[in-house]
């Protein structure tokens, strides 16, 4: 720690509940919360593989393969809708 002792119950209760800290640590959000570096790296690899598989499937769908398999836990993107008027009789 930085040598400061905890505030304690009384000082915590004296604070206004909507006040903001004077300084806040600003850092990028983590990819995931994991206990080990190995677990974080494994998650990141799995996520990148998922994104690559999704991009490949989406490209195959756009080129005309209607029976393409998308990765588990993903949705097929909507295809463009081409409206054509129905001729009047």
Domain extents in the chain: 34-70
Kindly state the tokens that stand for 7: 């505030």
* The pLDDT value given to residue 50: 97
* The pLDDT value given to residue 54: 95
* The pLDDT value given to residue 21: 83
Beta carbons within 8 Å of 40's beta carbon, 6+ residues apart: 30, 31, 32, 34
* The pLDDT value given to residue 1: 52
Residue-by-residue pLDDT tens, the chain, 89 positions: 577 888 899 999 999 999 888 888 888 888 889 999 999 999 999 999 999 999 999 999 888 887 899 999 999 888 776 677 777 76
């Amino acid at each position: 720690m930085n040598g400061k002792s905890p505030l304690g119950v009384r000082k915590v209760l004296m604070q206004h509940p909507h006040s903001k800290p004077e300084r806040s640590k600003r850092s990028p959000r983590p990819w995931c919360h994991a206990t080990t570096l190995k677990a974080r790296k494994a998650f990141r690899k799995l996520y990148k593989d998922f994104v690559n598989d999704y991009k490949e499937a989406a490209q195959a769908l756009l080129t005309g393969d209607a029976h393409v398999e998308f990765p588990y836990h993903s949705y097929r993107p909507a295809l463009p809708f081409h409206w054509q008027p129905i001729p009047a009789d």
